[in-house]
Amino acid sequence: MAVSDNFMELKEIAHINTGFTQKFGIPRQSGLVSEIGRIVFTPEYRNPTFIEGITDYDYLWLLWGFSKNKPLEGGTVRPPRLGGEKHMGVFATRAPFRPNNIGLSSVKLLEVQETLEQGPVLIVSGVDMLDGTPIYDIKPYIPYADAHPEARGGFTDSLSKEAQVQVEFPEHLLEKFPLEVRNAAVELLQQDPRAAYDRKKEREFRLAFHDYDIVFIGKDNKLVVTDVLKLKV
């Protein structure tokens, strides 16, 4: 087998528009936050025949690319949820640093919007991707084959049972966001974007979401929002 036979070129079929403009604060898994995404196909795939029958499904699998990652060094990573101290094999985690910068997310299909300039656009919720992330493939989620509620989840079993952190988000600050993204803004903080080793430090954090910076102070299991700042364009 020639060396070139070991490589396969991935073609970008679409990209997704989200309110996540930086890596900090992006949900660690899809489906945790009700953020909406718009999947815009490249011109080659805007023919409606490519998505014929897609509205018969409630959820989709997205195969996408990490666009702002450092290359993987060695075979282990240090998951932030474990304090950033414990090493685990990369294939035993969902860490973003991987041999190939490929991500997999399950999102809910809300609707298909027909547009003149961009063709059919998929509106999905539960996204965990940076704005502009390239998408390489879309497949339907099949409940009888894809759902395994009895399966063990490794170290995440204990993490998933943790209560969400308490969030104090003053109403006058929350109202700076458009109505349709306010719930997602609160949900983002409830998931606690801080790394585990930061939770004992009482300091200020900033989380970019849509066109704003959410400024908050974190200590232990409580986050207090102190300001919402409009980002400069």
- If asked whether residues 113 and 24 sit together in one domain, one would say yes
Residue 202 in this model has a pLDDT that exceeds 70? yes
**Phi, psi (deg, nearest 5) at residue 198:** -95, -5
Tens digits of per-residue pLDDT, 27-64?
A: 988 999 999 999 999 999 999 999 999 999 999 999 99
- If asked whether residues 123 and 177 sit together in one domain, one would say no
**What confidence category does residue 2 fall into, taking pLDDT thresholds of 50, 70 and 90?**
very low
- If asked whether residues 117 and 194 sit together in one domain, one would say no
Average pLDDT value over all residues in the chain: 89
**What confidence category does residue 200 fall into, taking pLDDT thresholds of 50, 70 and 90?**
confident
Q: Which residues of 97-128 are buried (b: 16+ CB within 10 A; e: fewer)?
A: bbeebebebbbbbeeeeeeeebbbbbebbbbb
Tens digits of per-residue pLDDT, 166-186?
A: 999 999 999 999 999 999 999
Tens digits of per-residue pLDDT, 13-35?
A: 999 999 999 988 899 889 999 99
CA dihedral 28, 156, 145, 57 (to 10 degrees): -30
d(CA 19, CA 128): 10
- If asked whether residues 27 and 142 sit together in one domain, one would say yes
Q: Identify any residues that bridge with 204 across adjacent strands, giving them in sequence order.
A: 217
Locus of tokens 């294939």: 91
Give a yes or no: residue 203 inside a domain. yes
Residue ranges making up the domain that contains 205? 156-230
d(CA 51, CA 78): 39
CATH number of the domain to which 61 belongs: 2.40.30.70
Instruction: Output the pLDDT for position 5.
Output: 64
Give a yes or no: residue 93 inside a domain. no
- If asked whether residues 219 and 118 sit together in one domain, one would say no
CATH number of the domain to which 194 belongs: 3.30.2310.20
Give a yes or no: residue 3 inside a domain. no
Mean pLDDT of 75-100: 82
